[in-house]
Amino acid sequence: MDRKEIVRSIEHAVADGALDELDRYYAADVVDHNPFPGQGPGLRGLRDKVAMLGAGLSDLSVAIDLLVEEADLVVDHWIGTGQHTGELMGIPATAGT
């Protein structure tokens, strides 16, 4: 699997809430440089973040807008959408209620 395919797989795992798939791509001590408030460290914290997104946003989808690979670096710009139908970071649902 090439690097771009790995990034696409991660984005699909996030959108699908496939937490076990994250274990394939991230080390236990991964650093999330954009954590949610109160998010724990490492893979456990990242898994919790993805689970929180899935619980708060129905129809969550992630679309890669731009995917660039140069040497051993891959950068993606993605857009995530979903309806806010459950609590998310302490904010009650704003859609579908």
Average pLDDT of the chain to the nearest whole number: 93
Burial of 57 (0-12, 13-18, 19+ CB in 10 A): buried
Q: What is the pLDDT of residues 47-93, one digit of tens each?
A: 999 999 999 999 999 999 999 999 999 999 999 999 999 999 999 99
Token digits of residue 93: 């649902």
CA distances from 49 to 2, 15, 55, 87 (A): 26, 12, 10, 13
Q: What is the pLDDT of residues 7-44, one digit of tens each?
A: 999 999 999 999 999 999 999 999 999 999 999 999 99
Distance of CA 28 to the CA centre of its chain: 16
Work out the pLDDT band at 97, boundaries 50, 70, 90. Answer: low
- Percent of the chain surpassing pLDDT 70: 98
Instruction: Give domain status of residue 97, yes or no.
Output: no
- How many residues can be counted in the chain? 97
Question: Under DSSP, is residue 59 helix (H, G, I), strand (E, B) or coil?
Answer: strand
Say how far apart CA 70 and CA 66 lie, in whole Å. 13
Q: What is the CATH number of the domain that holds 25?
A: 3.10.450.50
Q: How many domains does the chain have?
A: 1
Q: Which domain holds residue 42?
A: 3-84
Instruction: Give domain status of residue 51, yes or no.
Output: yes
Instruction: Give domain status of residue 14, yes or no.
Output: yes
